Structure 1
Amino acid sequence: MMEISKEASLVHNVLLLKGLENPILKEYNDIKKKERELLITKYLSKIMSLLNLDLKNDSLKNSPIRISKMYINEIFSGLDYRNFPKIMLMDNKIKFNGMIMVRDILLISTCEHHFITINGKATIAYIPEDKIIGLSKINRIAQFYAKRPQIQERLTKQLILVLQVLLQTKSVAVVIKMDHFCVKARGICDNNSNVVTSCIDGLFKSNKNIRNDFFLKL
C-alpha cells in the first residue's frame, strides 16, 4: 500500500496546526479503497432512485459505479495524502534571488457547499532562499489541493502556506481566478462574474517594487 510521504505529512500537520486543513475525517484512510468505492456506489444508487431515475435503464445503470470511481480516483483524489505529488527540491547553488512565477495553472475543483464545479486558473510566484522546486511540482501541488470539495479562500491560503513550508521561504504570492457554477448554474444564475482571491507574504508584502512587479506580470 502506498505510504504518505514525509513532505505530505509535514504540510498536512502544518495546515492542521494553522486551522487551514479541509474538514477531513481522520478515519478516511482506514477504509480500504474498494470498500469505499462499493459504499459510495450503494449510496449514489439510493440518491438516484430517490430522484425517480430508473437505474435499469442502459444509460443509467452503471452511473453509480462510474461516479464513485471518479470521486475517489479523480475529482476528490486530493482528499487522500497518499496522492500528494512527489516533490523535487534542489539546493539554490546559483543563489538565484529573483522572482520565479508560474502563470495560468489550470484548476478544476468542487464547491463544498453545493458539490458543483469551480474552475479557473492560478498564478503562483516565489523568491527562493536556499531551495528551488521543480516548476511542474508547483502545478501539481495546486491541483492536488483543488481536487477536493473546496472553498476558494481556503485553497488560496493553503497553497501559500504549503509552498512556504516546502520551499523554506516566506516570499510566496498566490492569485486565483475562478468561475463558480454554484453562481452560474443555480441561485442568481450569473454567467458573467468570477471570483479572484490573492494572498502574498514576505518580500511580496514588504517590498512595494516586488509587489508591483508581481501584479504587473499577472
Structure 2
Amino acid sequence: MDSNEKTVRSLWKYPHRIFAILTFSKKKIVGADEYQQARAHLLKQEKEATQLLQRLAASRRELPMVQISNPDRFKFDTPEGEKSLVDIFDGRNQLIIYHFMLGPGEHAGCVGCSFCMDHIPNLEHLRSRNTSFAAVATAPLSEITTYRKRMGWKFPFYSSAKTHQAWKEAEQAGETVTWKPGNGYFGLCVFIKDGDRVFHTYDTTARGVESILSTYHLLDMTPMGRQEVGNGMNGFSLHDEYGVEK
C-alpha cells in the first residue's frame, strides 16, 4: 500500500481529519493588530446576537398557555410506582419533559436523543429555580432503567406507554393534545402548575433542542466547528461506543 492510499484510507476511517485539512487550507494568518480588529468586529455581532436571544426568550415566556384537562389521567411508570403528570412535578411549579426515542424491545436509545441527554446538568440548579426535569419513553420501565444505568444518567427517566394510550383516547374523544410529539419523534415540552391545574406553555423539537447542547456551543468557538455535513447530529456516537469497531 503506497502513502497516498494510506492517506485516503485514514481520512475515510477518521473523516474529522478532513475538517482539519480544510480548516488550515482556508484560515488566514495575520498579525496581532489585524486579529484584534477582527475580534472587535465579531464581538459587536456576538452582543447583537445575545440581545436578540434575550428578546426571543422574553417572547417565549410570554406565549399563551393551554390548560390540560384532567392531567391525572396521564400516567407514568416510575421506580416509585405509577405517577400522574401532576405527580412528576415533584412538588415544584414547573416541569420540563424530554420525549426520548426508545421503544419496547429496543436495546439502545436513539443516538441523537442520547447525545442530548448527555448534556442534562446536575438537577439541583434547575430545582433551585422551582423546576423539575424528567425524560420519558414508550419502552417498559425495566428496559429504560437498564439503558439509563448503562449511560450513567442520574435524571428521572420514566415509561410513558400509558400516557401514549391516554393521548389516543383523548384524540378519539375529539381533544387536541398539544404536548404530544410527532409519531416516533422526540422533543422538549414545558409545563407550569397551579395547584392541580396543569398548563402546557412551550414545546420544541428538531434543531430547537440545540440550545441545551453545550458540546455544540463549545465546538462553535473552534475553527473546525461542529464538523458535520448539513444539519443534524451526524457523526456522534453513544458515549460508550467511541473507538469501538462496529
Q: Which of structures 1 and 2 has the bigger CA Rg? A: 2
The TM-score normalised by the length of structure 1 is 0.26
Instruction: Compare relative contact order (CA 8 Å, sep 6+) and give the higher one, 1 or 2.
Output: 2
